[in-house]
Homo-oligomer: A and B are copies of this chain.
Amino acid sequence: MDNRASHPPHPLVVQKYGGTSVGDTSRIRAVADHVARTRQNGNHVVVVVSAMGKATDDLIRLATETSSVRPPREMDMLLTSGERVSMALLCMALADLGVPAVSFTGSQAGIITDTTHTRAKIVTIKGDRLRAAIDDGQIPVVAGFQGVSTQHDVTTLGRGGSDTTAVALASALDAKVCEIYTDVPGVFSADPRIVPDAAKLKRLSFEEMLEIAATGGRVLALRSVEFARNHGIPLQVRSSFTWEPGTTIDEEDPSMEQPLVTAVTHDMSEAKVTLPGVPDTPGIAARLFRALADNAINVDMIVQNSSLHGTTDISFTVPEDDLATSLQITRSLANEIGAQTPQADSNIAKVSLIGAGMKSHPGISATTFEVLAASNINIEMISTSPIRLSCVIRRDQAESAVAVLHKAFNLGEA
C-alpha cells in the first residue's frame, strides 16, 4: 500500500495582514505566532503584508514636503519601501520562532502588472519562487500592494491593493482560503459605531459582499471581492487582535434559506449634481456621461425625470472629491445645449439595504419607504439591484436612517 495516497497534501492558506495588524514590532511578533500556529495545524501558509501602520502616510507627507511635482513612477518607488520593512521584520520574527520564512517583493513573487503607475492592474502571476519556497518547507512572506510592470518598473495596485495581492496569489497558488486579517472582527450588519447592537455576519455571498463594499462598507476593497468571486476563492475576514472567528465570504449556498436583508450600509462620501431644464432630445445624457467617464469620474446613481414641458432634469451622484470637475463638465454642456445652470449638493448620504433574499421578496422597498417616512426622512434618489436598495437622503439624517432600518429588519444581535 502506498502510504502517500492516504495523506493528502497540506492545504494552502493565504493570510493577509493589514497595516494595523503589523503596526509595531509587538504586533508583528503576534502575527508571527499566529502564522506559526496555522502551519503547526497542518497547513502550508503564504503571507501577504501591508506597510506598518502609518508608514505609507508618512512617506506621502515626505513627498509632499519635497516637491509639488510627484511623478507616479517615483511615488510607486517611494511607497513600495513600506512593505519591505514589514515583510523583512515578519520573517525575522518567524525565524525567532524557528519557522523558516523568506520575503518576496512583488517583483520577486512574479506579480506582473500593466504600466499604469499608482493604480496598476495585475496582468499575470508567475509565482515560481513562491512555489519553490513552499516545496522547500518555507513560508513565503510577500509584499502586498506592489508588482513589477511589463516594462520592469515597480508599480503599485492602488487602493485595496494588498487585499488584491492576497486574493490573486490565493488564486494563482490554488489556496483553499484567503484570510484577510484586520482591526475589526468581521463584516457587520451595520457600522457598529452607529448601531451598537450590529451583528457580526458569519457568512455572506460574494454578491452581498460586493454590494456592501460598493455602498460604503470599508472592510474589504471592492476590487479584491470581485477578483475572489471571479476565481472562486473563499475569503475570511478576521481580527488580528482577538483572532476570533470572523466572516466567511463564499459562493451563495442555494440549499440555505437566505435572510431577507443582511446588512444596512451608508456612504457619506458622495455628492449630487442636478442639471435642470435639459431639452428632451436623444443623446444628451450620453454626451454628459461620456464626458464624465473621459475624465475618469465614477458616476454612481443616475435619475432622470421627464417633465411634460419637453425638458427633463438629470441628477447624478459622484465622489465628493470629483464634484468640482463634474460641475465644470456639466456647466459646459449646459451652455452648449441650452439647459439651466447645474446645481451641486454635498449634503447627501446614501443608505443601502443588502440581502440575497431580496431577489424573491418584493416587499422590501415598500417597508423601507414606510420606515423612513415614519422618521420624517425624505428620499431624494432611489436605485436598486436584485439584492440591494439604495436611497439618497440628507447627510445629517444618515445615522438615524441606518438605525431605524437596522431595527425594522431585525438585524441586531439575537
Give residues in A with beta carbon < 8 Å to B: 25, 28-29, 59, 62-63, 65-71, 73-75, 77-78, 80-82, 84-85, 87-89, 91-93, 95-96, 102-103, 105, 108, 129, 152, 154
B69 touches A77 (CB 8 A): no
Residue on B nearest A61 in the bound complex, by CB: B25
Among candidates B84, B89, B103, residue contacting A66 with C-beta atoms closer than 8 Å: B89
Residue on B nearest A77 in the bound complex, by CB: B88
A92 touches B69 (CB 8 A): yes
Residue on B nearest A82 in the bound complex, by CB: B81
A89 touches B108 (CB 8 A): no
B66 touches A93 (CB 8 A): yes
A65 touches B95 (CB 8 A): no
Knowing A66-B28, A66-B29, A152-B108, say if A77 contacts B103 (CB, 8 Å). Answer: yes
- Give 15 A-B pairs besides A68-B96, A75-B88 with Cβ atoms closer than 8 angstroms: A25-B66, A29-B67, A59-B85, A67-B95, A69-B92, A70-B92, A71-B92, A71-B95, A73-B103, A74-B88, A74-B95, A77-B103, A81-B81, A81-B82, A105-B154
Residue on B nearest A28 in the bound complex, by CB: B66
Question: Which has the most chain B C-beta neighbours within 10 Å: A67, A68, A70, A154?
Answer: A67
Q: How far, in angstroms, from A85 to B70 measured CA to CA in the complex?
A: 13
B78 touches A88 (CB 8 A): yes
Among candidates B25, B29, B67, B80, residue contacting A96 with C-beta atoms closer than 8 Å: B67
Residue on B nearest A70 in the bound complex, by CB: B92
